[in-house]
Amino acid sequence: MSQAVRTAVETAAREAYGRLLAWLAFQWRDVAAAEDALADAFVAALRTWPVNGVPAAPEAWLMTAAKRNLLQLARHQRLRSDPAVTVLLGDDSAPDVGLPPLPDARLKLMFVCAHPALDGSVHAALMLQTVLGLEARQIAPAFLIPPATLAQRLVRAKKKIRDAGLRFEEPEGPELAERLDAVLEAIYAAYGLGWDAAGPDGTPAPEAGIAADDLSQEAIYLARLVAGLMPANAEAQGLLALLLFCEARRSARFDAVTGAFVPLHEQDTARWQRALIVEADQCLWQASALRSPGAFQFEAAIQSAHCQRASTGQVPWTAIATLYSRLLHVAPTIGARVGQAVAVGEASGADAGLRLLDALIASVDASGDYQPYWAARAHLLVRAGLPNEAAAAARRAIDLSRAPLLRDWLARRYRIATA
C-alpha cells in the first residue's frame, strides 16, 4: 500500500475518530457497536482507498461505511423497527458526497460516559477511550490500574450502556454539575497523558504509542468546548486556564539543542508562548469573577504565579505557598502536598519544607513510592546543606521515574551536587 494512502487513513483516524464515534454512538445508543462499526470502516478504507484513491471527503466516506455496518448488524438482529435504525436509514447519502459538518456530539458522549449508573472508577477512562480512541493499555497508567483490569471494566461499562437504556441527552441541573466534574477530570487526564508522553520534538515516547501533541491538542480543544458551552462554570474556565499555562511552556521543557530535560525554574522564559499565557490569565480572571473557587482554578493560579517569572524575573514563592494551602482545602492530594512543601521550602527556608515532607510520609503510605516526593526531598536537602542525604533521595527518585529524560537530568544534577 502506498504511504500516501496510509497517511490519509491515519490522518482521518486522528482527526475524525472521536467525532465520528460520538455521532454514531449517539444515533445508535450503543458505544461498543459503534466502535466495531467504525473500526471495520477504517479496515475497509485501508483496503479500498489504495485502489479507488483517497475520497475527497474521507470523513463522510468513513461515516457512510460505518453506518452501513451498523445497518447490516441491525438487519442481522432484525431490529428494523428500532428508532435508531430509522435515523440511520434516513440519511443514506452516497459515500463521496460531502455531508454537512456533523454537530460535535463528543461532549454529549462524555456526559453519557460520566453517567452515575456506570462504575465511577471507569468514567474518565471510558471518555478517553470513546472520544479520543485510546486503548486500555495506553490509558491505564494514568489511573494506576492494571491494563487488563481496566479493559474488563470498560467492556462492562459499554455493555451496560447498551443494555440498560441510559439516556443520551445532556443532564440538567444538579446532575449536570456532578457529571461535569468527571468530564473535567477526564480532559485533565488526557492532557496529562499527552504531557507525560511528549519528548523533546513533540514526538511520543515509543512505549506510549500515543501522538502526544495530538492528545494535548485534543484535550485543549475539549476544554475550550466545555468552557465555551458553560461560561458560567468557574471550574470549566479554570481547567482551560490551567491547560493553556502548561501548553505555553511545553516546548521550553526541553533544551533546544541537546533535547535534555529542563526544570521549570531554569527554563528560558523567552521560549514560553506569551499569547497562550495572556489567554490563560484572561480565562482565570473570568473564572475568579464567578466567585466559585475550585481545585482547577487554584492549580491554574499557581501556574500563573510561576509564569510571572517571565516579566519580573522572580518566582513569588510566598504567594504560591498560600495558593497551595488553599488548594489543599478543596483537593488534599499527595501531589499538592509535595508542591506545597517545595513552595514553603523556597519561601520560608528548606527546613520548613522538609518538615512538611516528613509529616506527609508519616501520614500517607503511598508517598514512599511517589516519585515527585523524592525529587522534592532531594531538592530541599541540597538547600538545607545535606548533600549526602540529598543524593540518597535523588537515587530513590531516579529509580521511581519512568521518563528517561527526567532520570538523566536527576542523575546529572545530583552527581554535581554530591561531587
Partner 1 sequence: MQYMLIYSEPLDTFALRDDSAQAPAYWGAWNAYIGSMAQAGVMISGNGLQPPHAATTVRIRDGRRQVQDGPFADSKEHLGGYVVIEVPSLDVALDWAARSPSALSGSTEVRPVLPPPPAPAG
**Interface with partner 1 (CB under 8 A):** 77-79, 117, 163-168, 171
CB of 69 to partner 1, least distance (A): 19
Q: Which three cell numbers stand for residue 266?
A: 531554569
SS (H, E, C) the chain: CCHHHHHHHHHHHHHHHHHHHHHHHHHHCCHHHHHHHHHHHHHHHHHHHHHHCCCCCHHHHHHHHHHHHHHHHHHHHCCCCCHHHHHHHCCCCCCCCCCCCCCCCHHHHHHHHCCCCCCHHHHHHHHHHHHHCCCHHHHHHHHCCCHHHHHHHHHHHHHHHHHHCCCCCCCCHHHHHHHHHHHHHHHHHHHHHHHHHECCCCCECCCCCCCHHHHHHHHHHHHHHHHHHCCCCHHHHHHHHHHHHHHHCCHHHECCCCCCECCHHHCCHHHCCHHHHHHHHHHHHHHHHCCCCCHHHHHHHHHHHHHCHHHHCCCCHHHHHHHHHHHHHHCCCHHHHHHHHHHHHHHHCHHHHHHHHHHHHHHCHHHHHCHHHHHHHHHHHHHCCCHHHHHHHHHHHHHHCCCHHHHHHHHHHHHHHHC
CB of 10 to partner 1, least distance (A): 37
Cα angle 218-336-417, degrees, rounded to a multiple of 5: 100
CB of 236 to partner 1, least distance (A): 23
Q: 198's torsion region: left (phi>0), alpha (psi -120 to 50) or beta?
A: beta
For partner 1, which is the closer residue by CB, 167 or 274?
A: 167
For partner 1, which is the closer residue by CB, 171 or 349?
A: 171
For partner 1, which is the closer residue by CB, 63 or 70?
A: 70
For partner 1, which is the closer residue by CB, 32 or 328?
A: 32
CB of 230 to partner 1, least distance (A): 20
CB of 77 to partner 1, least distance (A): 7
For partner 1, which is the closer residue by CB, 168 or 195?
A: 168
CB of 25 to partner 1, least distance (A): 15
For partner 1, which is the closer residue by CB, 67 or 179?
A: 179
CB of 23 to partner 1, least distance (A): 19
Q: What are phi and psi of 210, to 5 degrees?
A: -120, 140
For partner 1, which is the closer residue by CB, 168 or 317?
A: 168
Q: What are phi and psi of 245, to 5 degrees?
A: -60, -45
CB of 117 to partner 1, least distance (A): 6
For partner 1, which is the closer residue by CB, 79 or 177?
A: 79
For partner 1, which is the closer residue by CB, 160 or 309?
A: 160
CB of 81 to partner 1, least distance (A): 11
CB of 287 to partner 1, least distance (A): 30
For partner 1, which is the closer residue by CB, 146 or 165?
A: 165
For partner 1, which is the closer residue by CB, 143 or 168?
A: 168
CB of 78 to partner 1, least distance (A): 4
Best CA proximity match to 320, nearest among 293, 295, 301? 301
Alpha-carbon torsion angle 346, 350, 351, 352, nearest 10: 10
